[in-house]
Amino acid sequence: MKDLNISKLEAIFQQKIDDDVKIEPNDWMPDAYRKSLIRQISQHAHSEVVGMLPEGNWITRAPNLRRKAVLLAKVQDEAGHGLYLYSAAETLGADREKTIDDLHSGKAKYSSIFNYPTLTWADMGAIGWLVDGAAIMNQVPLCRCSYGPYARAMIRVCKEESFHQRQGFEVINKLAEGTIEQKEMAQDALNRFWWPALMMFGPSDDDSSHTEQSMRWKIKRNTNDELRQMFVDVTVPQAESIGLKVPDPHLKWNEEKECYDFGPIDWDEFWQVVGGNGPCNKERVDARRKAKEDGKWVVEAAMAFANKRNAKKTA
Amino acid sequence: MSESKGWPLWEVFVRSKQGLNHKHVGSLRASDATMAIKNARDVYTRRAEGISIWVVPSNNITASDPSEEDSLFEPSQTKVYRHPTFYDVPDGISHM
Ligand SMILES: [Fe+2]
Ligand SMILES: [Fe+2]
């Protein structure tokens, strides 16, 4: 293998990808592929972990025990998703603590959606329905991604996500069929989360810098705009069926293309939020940083205990 | 692979039900084996995925070298006579 030059190795690598042979951790891969994956997977991991915060906000105030148990289980799943993904990033040689520190320093990004506040209980419905719904749209194709550990993590994640979306839809549906005030709450949550949910798919294809290479490497299987369109097409009828109105005056079924036309996305808002200036960016990152700092003594104490016991065993 | 200052890495294997073998499901970090089992239970078996868990320190695993794939595994492809379909059995012979 040593006598093979890089371009030969690259050709073999790309051939595997084209043949849908998965790449595994110890296989040769181009540096840029490794870097790209580490960036994508760790951003994804950060999103799962930061994503616990807006919902964690409502666990103690869930309206009844059933809702509380459900929300708790859902948030616990998201912690697990974070773990699967950090582990996948580690198989590429990424240092887990360093990737987490990059989140805390603002160097690493996470999904812009989690920088919006959760103001009412109805937001728990909107998040499960729309945010987890959009996440599923993104993640299902990634189950076929070229990197084995990432694809396997996505399969586990997707299995768990469908309950997330259903529980959210149940919450919003219950409110939508409730009193006038409850229905207003549901509509208000949809109004606030609709556009940020569409932004979750990332910049439009014309402005997406990584798409082309990522598609060639099969670490992305659909473009941002394709996924966004799919999401709109499945979600609009769901809103209609529970009597809620999608807050887009331009939304219209296009008979010819057999999909919905929808209004322009406010990309200025998107870039502001991605750039750190969303309503909750500071709060979210501060919370994560505090969690690491406050938990540091536990990490150290557990390790000291394990070392002491190991020393006794070998003595 | 770089090592964090934190807890060591463990590989997790789960037996989904009696009669099946343990299967690798992923990895996690924990300070010791007891904690690794507890965390594995919380992360990998929340939906009745298993009835038994093994955890192994990741650095105790020795893996075959992918660049030796050909020399290691090629013989199993060329020796077709190791498979029953290699042999001619006349029509009318059954139970074989
Ligand atoms: Fe998730
Ligand atoms: Fe989720």
**pLDDT computed for residue B2 by the predictor:** 38
Give residue B65 CA to ligand 2 midpoint distance, Å.
Answer: 37
User: What's the total number of domains in chain B?
Assistant: 1
Pairwise CA distance, residues A81 & A55, whole Å: 15
**pLDDT computed for residue B5 by the predictor:** 63
* Structural domain harbouring B51: 2-61
Q: Does A96 touch chain B (CB under 8 A)?
A: yes
Claim: this prediction has a pTM higher than 0.90:
yes
Question: Does the distance separating the beta carbons of B67 and A28 come in below 8 Å?
Answer: yes
Residue B77 in domain? no
User: How far B38 CA sits from the closest chain A CA (Å)?
Assistant: 13
Residue B13 in domain? yes
Question: In this prediction, what percent of chain A has a pLDDT beyond 90?
Answer: 93
Pick from B5, B27, B31: CB nearest A305: B31
Give residue A174 CA to ligand 1 midpoint distance, Å.
Answer: 23
pLDDT digits (tens, 9 = 90+) for B31-56: 999 999 999 999 999 998 999 999 99
User: How far B35 CA sits from the closest chain A CA (Å)?
Assistant: 9
Q: Does A97 touch chain B (CB under 8 A)?
A: yes
> Which residues on chain A are in Cβ contact (under 8 Å) with B70?
none
Tokens 């994503």: give the residue: A51
Label residues A143-175 b or e (16+ Cβ within 10 Å = b): bebbbbbbbbbbebbeebbebbbebbbebbbbb
Residue B39 in domain? yes
State the CATH number of the domain containing residue B42.
3.10.20.520
Question: In this prediction, what percent of chain B has a pLDDT beyond 70?
Answer: 94
User: How far B44 CA sits from the closest chain A CA (Å)?
Assistant: 8
Its sign, for the CA torsion A21, A161, A110, A95, is negative
Residue B38 in domain? yes
Average pLDDT over residues A131-150: 96
**Which residue does chain B place closest to A99, by CA atoms?**
B4
Residue B35 in domain? yes
- pLDDT category at A162 given cuts 50, 70, 90 is confident
ipTM (interface predicted TM): 0.87
Question: Does the distance separating the beta carbons of B1 and A93 come in below 8 Å?
Answer: yes
Residue B40 in domain? yes
Tokens 């369109």: give the residue: A229
Residue B79 in domain? no
Q: Which residues pair with B14 in a beta bridge?
A: B23, B53
Residue B86 in domain? no
**pLDDT computed for residue A313 by the predictor:** 86
Pairwise CA distance, residues A19 & A75, whole Å: 37
pLDDT averaged over every residue in chain B: 90
- Rounded to 5°, the CA angle A189-A190-A193 comes to 85
> Which residues on chain A are in Cβ contact (under 8 Å) with B26?
84, 87, 152-153, 156
**pLDDT computed for residue A134 by the predictor:** 97
Give residue A132 CA to ligand 2 midpoint distance, Å.
Answer: 5
Average pLDDT over residues A139-153: 96
